Structure 1
Amino acid sequence: MKVVLGPNRYGKAETRVVRVVRDGAVHHIKDINVSSALSGAMEDVHLTGDNAAVLPTDTQKNTAYAFARKHGVGEIEDFALLLARHYVGSQPSIHHARVEIEEYFWDRIPVSDGRDERHSFVRSGREVRTCVVHHDRDGRTTVVSGLRDLVVLNSTGSEFHGYIEDEYTTLKPTTDRILATAVSARWRHVPDDSPSGGSRDFGESYAEVRRRLLEAFAETHSLSLQQTLHAMGERVLNARREVCEVRMAMPNKHHFLVDLEPFGMDNPNEVFYAADRPYGLIEGSVLADDAPDACFAWE
């Protein structure tokens, strides 16, 4: 039997970079987590242990730090593009670079004692902004922005009925339930040279996509979480020309009505038990009908 080397890549995972911009007494923070993965002419390192084609993962870590100082950290997509293009452009053995970045948000703590200093922050919720950039030596690039752990809840306006019932079904149909989920969404940007054009301001794009996702969640009378997922993706695609595909994973964070009859009390949809597992997991994608093919897999 002949054994051959299959697809492979290597890199530095989860390099935490915190960049402080000091604008006099006012400070600004960028808190990011950078992961890079490189592939190309790497046969020798696998087959014979020859490291001549390998850019060490420690070097990749140091590059993230150095670029944060040299170029600053603006929108995470722009920083990921900068790193990916550097790796491919500077090393002949590297044919493809994948850079993934997570961003953690901090809110400024207001002060009330009259001081001008503004350098105190509090971590903002659980939501994390994400991006994945792929770039290769042929100049092909894919940019995928996203977010995760965006926890949302509708206290009414959600139903679930008309589903398959067999001998194992115990779930009761309902026309009024709590609908809650933690949205993980990723959206693919059209290429720079696409006829559909669109914004290349990734900050504006992120804020507007997030707003459309929340609007659709709040404004959709839901008969299923699948319907809500589609409505959210559709709202984004109809509003943002720079986005051609949205992929979402939405766990159903179940809220079960508590039976208070043993205590002589009714429960008119007021007291619930919030279960953390098991949970339904709804996943899907929504595409523009003229969406260009992705250059690379999203992962």
Structure 2
Amino acid sequence: MPHQVLEPVRPEVSPVAGRIGAVVTRVRLSGDLPERVVAELGRALLRHRVLFFRDQHHLDAAGQARFARRLGEPAACCGHGRADAWHTDGTFAERPPKAMLMRAIEVPRHGGDTVWANTAAAYEDLPAELRELADRLWVLHGHGDARAEHPLVRVHPETGERAILLGGFARSIVGLSSRADSGALIRLFQEHVTRLENTVRWRWAPGDVAVCDNRATQHRVVQDFGGRPRLLWRVAVGGDVPVPVPVDGRSGAARPPAAGG
């Protein structure tokens, strides 16, 4: 009887919501995954922005870090500030993380979900006049003593899509002297990001792992669990300097001078 070559099991990817999020099954996450599987997961992450894996109870901190290294170079995990405010991780750094991996260790019996938003879909939904304005704006982000200026719209380095770069670390529009005007613009664009159509909500169970593309998402915890325990272990994958949208034939939108400068 001839030897039968079995086809390797492929990950199964099932969308959760219309614009963001997918559950991946038939994968046991580890640093030893075949390159083919890692590549498939990478493509799924670019398409769905955040991937969810159930029942990864075998992972510990070291195993989670080894799997993260298959996605890129590890990076220092940036502080949240208030995790119950919408944010993209590490926007106060020159190079925000490329991806974030969260592993549920202990979760409340009820509540404590995390919600993600698709910032590329939010940009696509903007009226043309607002897109043209957004393409030219720069934003100061800050957390503690850390500060960084980034374009309000970044070009995704792998897909070429445009995504809104804001969130809870955004402090002001560069070049605007009026705090009221600056805050109004930030709220305007931020509200487009967090429209329900752009979001997915995940109910955690111990052993769950979520991997999100930090270059095209925001997220926040739903603070509805009081003092009950909620422990998620996070690992960051290093990213790059956000690239602005080309404007008027230039390689990127020019950074405006600081107010009063």
Q: TM-score, normalised by structure 2?
A: 0.26
- Larger of the two Rg values belongs to structure: 1
Identify, as 1 or 2, the structure richer in strand. Answer: 1
Taking structure 1 as the reference length, the TM-score comes to 0.24
